[in-house]
Amino acid sequence: MTVNKAPAPSANHCSRDLREWLTHLSATGRLAVAKPGLGLRHELAAVSDRLEKDKAVLFPNPDGHPVPVAANLLAGRNWIGDCLGVSEDDLLDRYQDAVRHPVPWREVADGPVQAVVHRDVDITRQLPVPTHNELDSGPYISAGLMISRNPSNGIQNVSIHRCQISGKDRIGVLLLPRHTWTYARMAAEAGRALEVAIVIGVDPAALLASQAIVPLDFDEMEIVGALHGAPVEMVKCKTNNVRVPARAEIVLEGRVLPDVMEPEGPFGEFPQYYGRRANRHVIQVDAITHRQKPIFHTIVGGGMEHLLLGGLPREASLLETLQRNDPSVLDVHLSRGGVCRYHLVVKIRKKQEGQAKNIMMGAFAGHYDIKQVIVVDEDINIHDAEAVEWAVATRFQADRDLLVVGNTQASKLDPTTTDDGVGAKMGLDATVPLAADDFTFTVIKVPGADTVDLDKVLDDPGAAAAIIADA
């Protein structure tokens, strides 16, 4: 695993818009700038992909378009700590604290995001929308916060959906059966379109908040306020009633049409496979508003930023669920190899035999995406895949420590599940048995290996010749 350098986070530092975050990245040597004019089709994504664990990138004049594109806003887990103003160890606590103590947003009369208004919409002429993976159907808006309103009570929802450009003012959108989908269905049952806004160019805290696992009618923008430490300022859209962050870069205002389905996909997704082409919801875009000199943010499908954004909010909510059932749970991690969604490692301070299997079942129930749970002891670094494998290699026996549950709901994007998303769960108890004698699981150790001062004990390498030489 690559370790990238981030400076120690300053207390309470949290960028409140995209420009503050880019300025911070630039000041800390983590923002690359491409030569002007790189191609929107694959070339921009190729550069982002190569730098995905290392640097954010700005692309001026992509394909000659006046609006620059930003990518890789998060290139490592430690960057998330930096953007939330806490150490990496405190990330989950900070995030979950914000979920528990939301801060309502505040409406303002106007904001920079509405400095320019296009009512004659032509998406790819007005915005530089990239094409990322090889078999993607075409350009996609992949980093837009979709804000919608519950048609009956006006409460807003914030989430991210892949948005295919299907025409000059038309978007094909994948709505999984969660909150936006529920609001769209409520509107459609009343014979109406669902008012939405697609908000492009926000700070990473807002992107992370949009991924929180919270109930229907919990406005994720209030989590953004808690992470910022101040209410988010919101403005009313020009053509509908949705409220959007005043300091965002770009907003597409539109409507999810009732009873209209059109082909969308394929699109390269987080499991590193394509989501297939099928008939999906359609958004009619009524207006585009943006700042003077806006910046367009894109997320390469399946890339590091995509995985990090999905992983952390899920970890925070799984940790809370598991700790509520069993305070022996110390920490959780959704591993990179498990696409930050499917494979969970749980660290516990075991007090009772059998506990690990209860925890596995809690995790399976905590989110349908969870496919494998490995439970380890306190001494294992759960962010180190090698250390976790060592625990399995030396503390697990399949006949007594393996739990398999078949025919459960799983991820529809996992290519091994059936069409209706049915798959199996697997749990591995890699904890030391409580009854084990002290000696059997004593980990070997060379005394002094951690503390020896190599500068003091090593000689000039040139001394080797005399030692090796034949007598």
Q: In terms of DSSP bridges, do strands 243-245 and 250-264 run parallel, antiparallel, or are they unpaired? A: unpaired
Residue closer to Mn ion by CB (options 155, 260) is 155
Task: Give me the least distance between CB of 181 and Mn ion, in Å please.
Answer: 10
Specify whether the CB–CB gap between 319 and 332 falls below 8 A: yes
Q: Which listed range, 14-22, 98-106, 174-182, 386-394, lies at the site for Mn ion (CB under 5 A)?
A: 174-182
Q: Which listed range, 150-158, 330-338, 359-367, 411-419, lies at the site for Mn ion (CB under 5 A)?
A: 150-158
Task: Report the C-alpha gap between 356 and 72 in whole angstroms.
Answer: 37
Residue closer to Mn ion by CB (options 157, 335) is 157
Task: Give me the least distance between CB of 187 and Mn ion, in Å please.
Answer: 16
Q: Which residues does 97 contact at the CB level (< 8 Å), separation at least 6? A: 226
Task: Give me the least distance between CB of 157 and Mn ion, in Å please.
Answer: 4
Task: Give me the least distance between CB of 369 and Mn ion, in Å please.
Answer: 16
Q: Which listed range, 61-69, 144-152, 171-179, 415-423, lies at the site for Mn ion (CB under 5 A)?
A: 171-179
Residue closer to Mn ion by CB (options 176, 458) is 176
Q: Which listed range, 149-157, 282-290, 398-406, 458-466, lies at the site for Mn ion (CB under 5 A)?
A: 149-157
Residue closer to Mn ion by CB (options 48, 211) is 211
Interface size with Mn ion, residues (CB under 5 A): 2
Q: Tell me the Ramachandran region of residue 310: left when phi exceeds 0, alpha when psi lies from -120 to 50, beta otherwise.
A: alpha
Task: Give me the least distance between CB of 203 and Mn ion, in Å please.
Answer: 19
Asked if 157 touches Mn ion (CB under 5 A), the answer is yes
Task: Report the C-alpha gap between 32 and 165 in whole angstroms.
Answer: 28
Q: Which residue is nearest to Mn ion (CB)?
A: 179
Residue closer to Mn ion by CB (options 96, 166) is 96
**Hey, what long-range contacts does 117-120 have (CB within 8 A, 24 or more apart)?**
117/238, 117/287, 117/288, 117/289, 118/287, 118/288, 118/289, 119/238, 119/239, 119/286, 119/287
Residue type, position 66, single letter = P
Residue closer to Mn ion by CB (options 239, 321) is 321
Q: Which listed range, 173-181, 195-203, 284-292, 422-430, lies at the site for Mn ion (CB under 5 A)?
A: 173-181
Residue closer to Mn ion by CB (options 6, 212) is 212
Q: Which listed range, 127-135, 178-186, 321-329, 388-396, lies at the site for Mn ion (CB under 5 A)?
A: 178-186
Per residue, what are the HEC states of 29-42? CCEEECCCCCCCEC
Q: How many CA atoms lie within 13 A of 341 on its CB side?
A: 20
Residue closer to Mn ion by CB (options 157, 431) is 157
CA angle at 410 for the pair 80 and 322, rounded to the nearest 5° = 55
Residue type, position 173, single letter = V
Task: Give me the least distance between CB of 176 and Mn ion, in Å please.
Answer: 12
Asked if 317 touches Mn ion (CB under 5 A), the answer is no
Phi/psi for 126 (5° steps) reads -85, -25
State which of residues 30, 77, 161, 179 lies at the interface with Mn ion (CB under 5 A). Answer: 179
Asked if 149 touches Mn ion (CB under 5 A), the answer is no
Q: Which listed range, 25-33, 144-152, 153-161, 314-322, lies at the site for Mn ion (CB under 5 A)?
A: 153-161
Residue closer to Mn ion by CB (options 180, 335) is 180
Task: Report the C-alpha gap between 336 and 327 in whole angstroms.
Answer: 26
Token pair in block for residue 296: 């367009």
The rounded radius of gyration (Å) of the Cα atoms in the chain is 25
Task: Report the C-alpha gap between 109 and 116 in whole angstroms.
Answer: 15
Nearest to 332 by CA among 349, 345, 350, 323: 345
Residues of this chain that interact with Mn ion (CB under 5 A) are: 157, 179
